[in-house]
Amino acid sequence: MSAFFDLVGREPDGVWSAPGRVNLIGEHTDYNDGFVLPVAVDRGCRASVRRRDDGMLRCWSVQLGKGAQSAVAELVAGVTEGWSAYVLGVAWALREAGVPVPGADVVVDSDVPAGAGLSSSAALECAVGLALSELAGVEVDRTVLALAGQRAENEVVGAPVGIMDQMASVHGRAGSAVLLDCRTREVRTVPLPLRELGLALVVLDTRVTHAHATGGYAARRRACVEAAGLLGVAALRDVSLEQVEAAAGELGDERLRRARHVVSENARVLAAVRALETGDVAALGPLMAASHASLRDDFEVSVVELDTAVEAALDAGAVGARMTGGGFGGSAVALVPLDLVPAVAERARAAALSADLRRPDVYVVTPSDGARRLS
């Protein structure tokens, strides 16, 4: 019997699922109106949902063993404590977008590890958002759904996240990566035929999140906004590397390096897309290496755990490896020849052990479809 039946005493009207994601390349570019290249993965959040007629929205997390509830009519903006802010927040954001969100019982069950950089939050928002909009009888555009998830996270959870995670979760496609232009929100599916290439996409979760993650993220965003202002543009998307270097004096060393990362990273995303579209996978290795070095040296968001994992993966034969996600902990991602996956995992664990770091979790993910109804 399902967890839903145990909790609600009836079967759900349907089950919806939305994936987590791993970002192949394009880090800290989303909030600079730039480009990102995430991949939706074969881990996701399932939302089992049944409509209620009394206007109450009740939710339960299998992972946390905790529930919460609110009347849909009483949902308001403003930061709400606890995990249910994601669920109630997405219901609020959809209602703000004009969707007549009904009352419902919602049970979520996810195999995306929370806080590991695979975006368990977007998976949760998108699964619940798709379920509620279908139960409302409204076909919500996928980008509108992603925006509702982001709005929930920004205005109800209180996390100033960009749009990458939700867009990857709704627009993902099996065997593909998703090129997203964060300014226009234009999406392009880019082939990532790993099996044909004899490669695996490997996540190396350091299992650490450093205390300065939130403050560090906010400080990086601020530096980017300041740099764009000094350069006289709306966002760092709008400048070339030459313009950044030429303004070194006005920017000062730190803002110069932050801007140089963003501008060079945008170029690397587009180069990675060209490489994939022309079948030149070997070109991804140097691009991922340059991305990692730039995040480590110019943007200063890597940590010893991520550097160690990346180096170990490359030493053991990965084609490319880099930190992924916001940094200060979380995960690295590597493209690894299929027969070398065990060696990469082994080397990463051994390297962590000898550096006195936590044992990383290493696993393969598969590029998968975006949010969908399962039953």
List the single partner that 303 binds among Mg ion, ligand ADP, none, CB under 5 to 8 Å by kind: none
Minimum gap (Å) between residue 355 Cβ and ligand ADP: 24
Minimum gap (Å) between residue 255 Cβ and ligand ADP: 27
CA-wise closest residue to 149 among 133, 130, 126, 167: 126
User: Is 35 a residue that touches ligand ADP (CB under 6 A)?
Assistant: no
Q: Which residue is nearest to Mg ion (CB)?
A: 121
Nearer to ligand ADP, 157 or 334 (CB): 157
CA-wise closest residue to 187 among 134, 141, 122, 233: 141
List the single partner that 63 binds among ligand ADP, Mg ion, none, CB under 5 to 8 Å by kind: ligand ADP
Out of 17, 121, 150, 166, which residue is the one contacting ligand ADP (CB under 6 A)?
121
For 58-90, letters b (16+ CB in 10 Å) and e give bbbbbbeeebbebebeebeeeebeebbbbbbbb
Minimum gap (Å) between residue 188 Cβ and ligand ADP: 24
List the interface residues with ligand ADP, window 40-59 (CB under 6 A). 45
List the interface residues with ligand ADP, window 93-112 (CB under 6 A). 108, 110
* Residue bearing tokens 């939050």: 121
Give 8-47 as a DSSP string: HSS--SEEEEEEEEEEEE--S-GGGT-EEEEEEEEEEEEE
Q: How many CB atoms lie within 10 A of CB 349?
A: 18
Cα separation, 54 vs 72, in Å, equals 9
Nearer to Mg ion, 121 or 150 (CB): 121
Cα separation, 281 vs 275, in Å, equals 6
Which of 105, 165, 205, 298 is catalytic? The answer is 165
Tokens, residue 140: 């919500």
Segment lying near Mg ion (by CB under 5 A), choices 113-121, 216-224, 260-268, 300-308:
113-121
Q: How many CB atoms lie within 10 A of CB 30?
A: 21
Out of 55, 115, 317, 337, which residue is the one contacting ligand ADP (CB under 6 A)?
115
CA distances from 263 to 113, 231, 333 (A): 31, 13, 21
* Sheet strands (E) in the chain: 14-25, 35-52, 56-61, 66-71, 103-110, 176-181, 186-191, 199-209, 320-324, 329-337, 361-365, 372-373
Out of 13, 55, 63, 197, which residue is the one contacting ligand ADP (CB under 6 A)?
63
Minimum gap (Å) between residue 109 Cβ and ligand ADP: 7
List the single partner that 114 binds among ligand ADP, Mg ion, none, CB under 5 to 8 Å by kind: ligand ADP
Cα separation, 261 vs 296, in Å, equals 10
Out of 32, 61, 110, 121, which residue is the one contacting Mg ion (CB under 5 A)?
121
Minimum gap (Å) between residue 316 Cβ and ligand ADP: 26
Nearer to ligand ADP, 47 or 202 (CB): 47
Q: How far is CA 304 from the centre of its chain?
A: 22
List the interface residues with ligand ADP, window 253-282 (CB under 6 A). none
List the single partner that 267 binds among Mg ion, ligand ADP, none, CB under 5 to 8 Å by kind: none
Cα separation, 224 vs 236, in Å, equals 7
Nearer to ligand ADP, 35 or 86 (CB): 86
Minimum gap (Å) between residue 64 Cβ and ligand ADP: 5
Query: Active site includes 165?
Result: yes
Q: How many CB atoms lie within 10 A of CB 299?
A: 23
Helix/strand/coil for 250: helix
Which residues sit at the interface with Mg ion, rule CB under 5 A? 119, 121
Q: Catalytic amino acids? A: 165
Which residues sit at the interface with ligand ADP, rule CB under 6 A? 45, 61, 63-64, 83, 86, 108, 110, 114-121, 124
